Amino acid sequence: MADERNTHPEEEIPQSNAARRLKGLGIDPNAPPADAVEVAPVGFWENFWYHHKWKTIICVSLVILFVICTMQMCTQNSYDLYVMYAGPGYMTPNETLSVQSAFGQLVPRTEDTAQQTVMVSVINYMNAEQIAEKKALAEEQGVEGFYVDLHGNASELERFQMEVVAGNSVIYLLDPLLYESVKEAGGLLPLGEVLSEIPAAAIDEYGIRLGETDLYESISALQNLPEETVLCIRKISTMSVFKGQKKSEEAHARHTAMFKALVSFESAE
């Protein structure tokens, strides 16, 4: 008997529906698979970076910021007393140092306490009226190329505002308009709570006109500041809660003693 498989060569092996669909698309379902594409192995760090890139960037940035802040805190000089001048006046670094030294000499001390160190910060800021006056004066004097750095001036104002809110400075020497802004915000201590007697140079219950004090007449570097500069003292900062209440009160007591010394100073002449 002849083999039936050879008598009907045209018969095909039954195919599945999927095979028929592939064949209809011109794809031979019985064709051998194409060679697999070789993929290079991915290293550990490449895989890690792919999945954790942004978390790594954020963590590294925070670590760098922490290290920078720590280094600044460790290298920053610490002073016993802090004074801030803000206004259109200008003092050179050497003049500022001479004021610091002079103020330090006036601070009350006892046999048990060393001379306290003083830091004077200078913020050079001009309001719109002062800028206009300076431009007019430059034109009058024939000064060419006069220029006011408005961006830098705005930055100085921001610096002043930050110092008032969260800075170390307690004793202020302020341009009258800046003085009014701090007074209206309730940031100043009344003179009556610090001094036993209100001096004749007082302009109101919070400030003293610097130009009418013996201090101004005796320290030549201070005369670089306008006479209408106001001497005043700040209340304990609301940020003291972050520094420790007791520590803040002790620091404010030191500044109060210094403020009294500055106001009551009398020249030898």
How many domains does the chain divide into?
A: 2
Mean pLDDT of 175-180: 98
Which CATH number is 122's domain given? 3.40.190
Angle at 121 between CA 115 and CA 124, to 5 degrees: 155
Residue 21 pLDDT class (50, 70, 90 cuts): low
Is the predicted pLDDT of residue 75 greater than 50, yes or no?
no
Say if residue 70 is in the same domain as residue 201.
no
CA dihedral 255, 261, 264, 268 (to 10 degrees): -150
Say if residue 71 is in the same domain as residue 189.
no
Residue 41 pLDDT class (50, 70, 90 cuts): low
Predicted pLDDT at 248: 83
Cβ–Cβ under 8 Å, residues 151 and 131: no
Residue 177 lies in a domain: yes
Mean pLDDT of 53-64: 78
Mean pLDDT of 241-252: 76
The DSSP call for residue 202 is B
Q: How far is CA 148 from the centre of its chain?
A: 23
Say if residue 66 is in the same domain as residue 192.
no
Predicted pLDDT at 264: 93
Say if residue 172 is in the same domain as residue 65.
no
Give the end of a domain, one of 32, 55, 76: 76
Question: In sequence order, which residues have a C-beta less than 8 Å from that of residue 172 and are 6 or more positions away?
Answer: 83, 84, 85, 86, 179, 182, 188, 230, 231, 232, 233, 234
Give the end of a domain, one of 51, 76, 101: 76
Residue 12 lies in a domain: no
Predicted pLDDT at 1: 47
Residue 240 lies in a domain: yes
- 3-state secondary structure at position 86: strand
Residue 234 pLDDT class (50, 70, 90 cuts): very high
Is the predicted pLDDT of residue 69 greater than 60, yes or no?
no
Predicted pLDDT at 23: 63
Mean pLDDT of 187-195: 96
Query: Between these two residues, 53 and 80, which has the higher pLDDT value?
Result: 80
CA distances from 38 to 41, 72, 247 (A): 9, 53, 69
Residue 36 lies in a domain: no
Say if residue 85 is in the same domain as residue 70.
no
Is the predicted pLDDT of residue 30 greater than 70, yes or no?
no
With a pLDDT cut of 90, the percent of the chain lying above it is 52
* Exposure of 176 in the CB half-sphere (CA atoms within 13 A): 10
Say if residue 71 is in the same domain as residue 54.
yes
Residue 238 pLDDT class (50, 70, 90 cuts): low
Q: How far is CA 9 from the centre of its chain?
A: 91
Say if residue 65 is in the same domain as residue 160.
no
Q: What predicted TM-score, i.e. pTM, was given to this entire model?
A: 0.70
Say if residue 258 is in the same domain as residue 135.
yes
Say if residue 174 is in the same domain as residue 260.
yes
User: pLDDT tens, 111-124?
Assistant: 556 678 899 999 99
**Amino acid identity, residue 81?**
L
Lowest pLDDT segment from 15-29, 51-65, 174-188, 235-249: 15-29
Mean residue pLDDT of the chain comes to 82
Distance CA 121, CA 82 (A): 8
Residue 28 lies in a domain: no
Predicted pLDDT at 143: 86
Predicted pLDDT at 39: 54
Domain that holds residue 248: 80-264
Cβ–Cβ under 8 Å, residues 212 and 226: no
245-264 helix and 93-106 helix, angle to the nearest 10 degrees: 90
Say if residue 163 is in the same domain as residue 107.
yes
CA dihedral 221, 224, 226, 229 (to 10 degrees): -40
Residue 25 pLDDT class (50, 70, 90 cuts): low
Give the end of a domain, one of 76, 94, 119: 76
Say if residue 154 is in the same domain as residue 238.
yes
Terminal CA-CA length for the chain:
146
Residue 195 lies in a domain: yes
Say if residue 58 is in the same domain as residue 94.
no
Residue 152 lies in a domain: yes
